[in-house]
A and B are shown apart, each in its own frame.
Chain A
């Protein structure tokens, strides 16, 4: 009997344990926005693979000029972006260890760059630099793994508008702070989900304080 369960268990682990199943591929970058020594939030750019690019053009760029006017952007936002609210906009953020669910984003834009579709949006997160370092961690990932989201290789992070701030930025795969889908306290705001499992996506870490 042990052999039977051993066989079944092993087979399932081999067949089912392979859980990479992306259908979309997204290159991303993050730009932190400061107003003096206050962090106001960050801008996220997603640059999609050529196939999703053409699907969106096919559906929403009806005159096929590969430029999206105001009405087309509005329709894309409604038809192919707003549903991401249910997924926290694939954006997981923690400040000083505390998770903050992303429930709202602003200034949604759509553009084409090098024949690839780009989405740009602003994630508001207001915090003033203090005397001690504040640590903001931002991870971009799709918990359903329908989309494989990676940071671009060249300059994935930038900062704008800062003054009187001392900061350190680095990328990190934080094994100590895993995202647990069935533990709201440890999760990055994935509330009310019945999921289980652990992920360690690469996160952008911003440590900042008032210039000393």
Chain B
């Protein structure tokens, strides 16, 4: 029980970092975004932050030259830098890696399903940012950053609520199945078992990536929207590599763990069922925990 509680604390330690709105921009309820638990003194973190700073500045510099230099080399440089920026960017917290991890912890899945989940989530994450910014640009033409932050705020709340609900439903189904002793057997049930994956991806990926939004806003300001859209999708490709990596590592890790338990049927079944319950429970608790500031803004003391 003690270990389980420590595990939950770790999850919430990592999940706190998900709710990231731009602190400069006023929110509908002027709430203060939950802050991460972090140590900025780590040389590795500083290196990551510094690399992102360098990539983004370089990207900004090259995008700034596009109007006068539309050579293939410039465009390829933009796409390449965006991809690398996305890769490093997704190495940090957020981008729903905890959800992906929890989901594949609870389900038996193939690496290709993990790969697809990571890519779908990353593209939806970026597409959501593109959609919000472009619609705001077409309709209101001004206050794009603040409009983005407002929409982002509500989408975040909706996303967390939806994840809590999906997690709860998945947990309920799992518990009912276990109660009826309809344990899922290998082979035939995989696809059926992962029917909730699209809902998870939709709920988790709907929240727009602020990094992608910033690139698109920058391209609008420079009058190079198509270049900005391509850059955003190149960036999402970089993020997809990391998110898919998390999914695939989880799938392999779980498989390895079960291989270690081969021949110990009772323990293996216990662990298998336990992972399913824990994974679903984590999605539910993550969604619930992150919904609290949206449901009860006063609870954070602001």
> A residues touching B (Cβ–Cβ < 8 Å)?
1, 3-5, 7-9, 11-13, 15-25, 49-52, 54-59, 62, 78-84, 86-87, 90, 141-148, 150, 173, 175, 181, 192-201
Contacts and interface: CB of A to CB of B under 8 A. Distances in A.
B11 interface: yes
Interface residues of B, number: 78
Interface in B191-221: 210-211, 214-215, 217-218, 220-221
B225 interface: no
B45 A144 contact: no
Contacts of B143: 59, 79
B106 interface: no
A24 B215 CA distance: 11
A192 B300 CA distance: 8
B41 A200 contact: yes
A11 to B, nearest CB: 6
Nearest to B15: A16
A11 B249 contact: yes
B80 interface: no
Q: Residue among A12, A90, A144 with the most chain B CB within 10 A?
A: A144
Contact of B56 (A1, A49, A82): A49
B6 A148 contact: no
A109 B205 CA distance: 38
Given A51-B214, A173-B41, 5 more contacts: A17-B14, A23-B214, A58-B144, A145-B38, A148-B49
A8 B101 CA distance: 10
B218 A51 contact: yes
B30 A83 contact: yes
Contacts of A19: 17, 36-39, 45, 92-93
A20 B52 contact: yes
13 contacts: A5-B3, A49-B56, A54-B218, A56-B145, A59-B145, A86-B23, A86-B32, A145-B17, A145-B35, A146-B20, A146-B23, A150-B53, A201-B41
Contacts of B98: 15-16
Contacts of B17: 16, 19, 21, 145
Nearest to B7: A8
B111 interface: no
A9 B144 contact: no
A150 to B, nearest CB: 8
Contacts of A142: 23
Interface in B53-92: 53, 56-57, 60-61, 64, 89, 91-92
Nearest to B214: A51
Nearest to B146: A79
B218 A50 contact: yes
B217 A16 contact: no
B222 interface: yes
B137 to A, nearest CB: 9
Q: At the interface, is chain B mostly helix, strand, loop or mixed?
A: helix
Contact of A201 (B22, B27, B40): B40
Given A196-B37, A197-B39, A201-B40, A50 B32 contact: no
A195 B34 contact: yes
B24 A50 contact: no
Interface in B90-107: 91-94, 97-98, 101, 105
Given A11-B101, A23-B214, A25-B57, A197 B23 contact: no
Contacts of A148: 49, 52-53
A193 B33 CA distance: 10
Contact of B300 (A5, A49, A143, A194): A194
Sort A-B residue pairs by CB-CB distance and give the 7 closest, nearest first: A16-B14, A197-B37, A21-B92, A50-B60, A54-B221, A192-B301, A200-B41
A90 to B, nearest CB: 8
B260 interface: yes
A20 B32 contact: no
Contacts of B32: 86-87, 193
A19 B16 CA distance: 10
A85 B147 CA distance: 20
B20 A3 contact: no
B250 A11 contact: yes
B91 to A, nearest CB: 6
Nearest to B45: A20
A80 B22 CA distance: 9
A49 B57 contact: yes
Contacts of A83: 23-27, 30
